[in-house]
Amino acid sequence: MLNFIIRRIAQIPLVMLALSLLLFVIIFQLTPAQRAAGYIRSEQQAAQLDNIIRQRGLDQPFPIQYGKWLSSTVQGDLGFSRTSSKPVFDTMKERLPSTIELSLYAGIPIVLLGIWLGTLSALNKDRFVDQFLRVFAVLGTSLPSFVLGIVLLKFLYGSLGWLPGPGQVDVLNQFAVLDPTFKHYTGMLSVDAMLNGRWAVAGDVLRHLIMPVLTLVIIFSANILKVMRAQMLETLTSDYVRTARAKGLGNKAVNLKHARRNALLPIVTLTGFTAINLLAGAIITETIFAYPGVGQWVGSAAQNLDVPAVMGFALLSAIIVVVISTLTDLFYGVVDPRVRFD
Partner 1 sequence: MTTTLPTSTPEQTPGRFKSFFSSRPVVKLRRNKLAVAGLIMTFVFLMVAVFAPFIAAPSQAAGGNCLRDLGITQTSQIYNPAGGAFWKVLLTAPDSCYHTERESFSPIPTPPGGGAYFGTSQGYDIFYGMIWGTRVMMKLGLVIVAITLFTGIVVGAVSGYYGGWLDNLIQRFIDVMLSLPSLVLTIVLLTVLGPSISSIILAFCLTGWTQYARIVRGDILRTRNLEFVDAARSLGARDFRLIFKHVLPNSVASVLTIAILDLGTIPLSIAALSFLGIGLPVGYTDWGQFMSFARAWMDNQYWYVTVLPAAFIILFSLGWNLFGDAVRDAFDPRTR
C-beta of 255 vs 296, nearer to partner 1: 296
Distance CA 237, CA 33 (A): 63
For the chain, give the number of residues: 342
C-beta of 28 vs 182, nearer to partner 1: 28
- Distance between terminal CA atoms of the chain? 12
Min dist CB 276 to partner 1, Å, is 6
Query: Taking CA 320 as the corner, what is the angle to CA 285 and CA 28, rounded to the nearest 5 degrees?
Result: 90
**Positions in the binding site for partner 1 (CB under 8 A):** 15, 18-19, 22-23, 26-27, 29-30, 138-139, 141-147, 150-151, 153-154, 157-159, 165-166, 276-277, 279-281, 283-284, 287-288, 298-299, 301-303, 305-307, 310-311, 313-314, 317-318, 321-322, 325
Min dist CB 186 to partner 1, Å, is 25
C-beta of 18 vs 46, nearer to partner 1: 18
Min dist CB 43 to partner 1, Å, is 22
Closest CA to 271 of 136, 138, 107, 40: 107
Min dist CB 315 to partner 1, Å, is 10
Amino acid at 245: R
Min dist CB 30 to partner 1, Å, is 6
Distance CA 212, CA 106 (A): 8
Min dist CB 22 to partner 1, Å, is 6
C-beta of 21 vs 253, nearer to partner 1: 21
C-beta of 60 vs 141, nearer to partner 1: 141
C-beta of 249 vs 276, nearer to partner 1: 276
